[in-house]
Amino acid sequence: MSYEKDEIIKANRKFYDARNRYDVELIERVWLTDGRAKCVHAGWPIILGWEAIRESWKTIFETGGFDRVDISNFFVDVKGNSAWLNCVERATYSIDDRRVVVLAQATNIFELDDGEWKMALHHASLMPIPRTEIDYENLQ
């Protein structure tokens, strides 16, 4: 794997680590913090600009949106100062003493900004959970 792809995966992991810590300040460190930033949470309309995105994360964290999000099945492409990473999100929630699992396909687009890979777009779309066992290692 190339150095650039490794750096994209690191930036992506920082984003999900910050999500799992419910830490908006850590999320801010991996995002572009201007009008170029865009976000589509699963089931939400597009959010434009960092300030609105920041508020959306605060709302999600304050309402206890999820217990944990684990990621797998990375596909990374780099072209110049832009990169995109596709992955599967496996979010676990606690609802009325039950554990609920939700799968989403995510596309995260990064831009090289002052020597650092910053997230320009996060887009998550819900995936159906199959009724039979699936091999998550080969899920695409």
84-131 pLDDT, tens per residue? Answer: 999 999 998 877 878 888 899 999 999 999 999 999 999 999 998 665
Looking at 28-81, which runs of residues are DSSP E strands?
38-40, 47-48, 68-79
Identify the residue whose tokens are 């304050």. Answer: 62
- pTM confidence score: 0.87
Q: CATH number for the domain including 67?
A: 3.10.450.50
Tell me the pLDDT tens digit for each residue of 14-26: 999 999 999 999 9
Question: Does a structural domain hold residue 104?
Answer: yes
Position 41 in a domain: yes
CA separation, residue 32 to residues 8, 23, 111, 118 (Å)? 14, 16, 8, 5
Read off the amino acid at residue 51: E
Query: What single-letter DSSP state applies at residue 97?
Result: T
Sign of the CA dihedral with 6 first, then 56, 47, and 115 last? negative
Q: How many domains in the chain?
A: 1
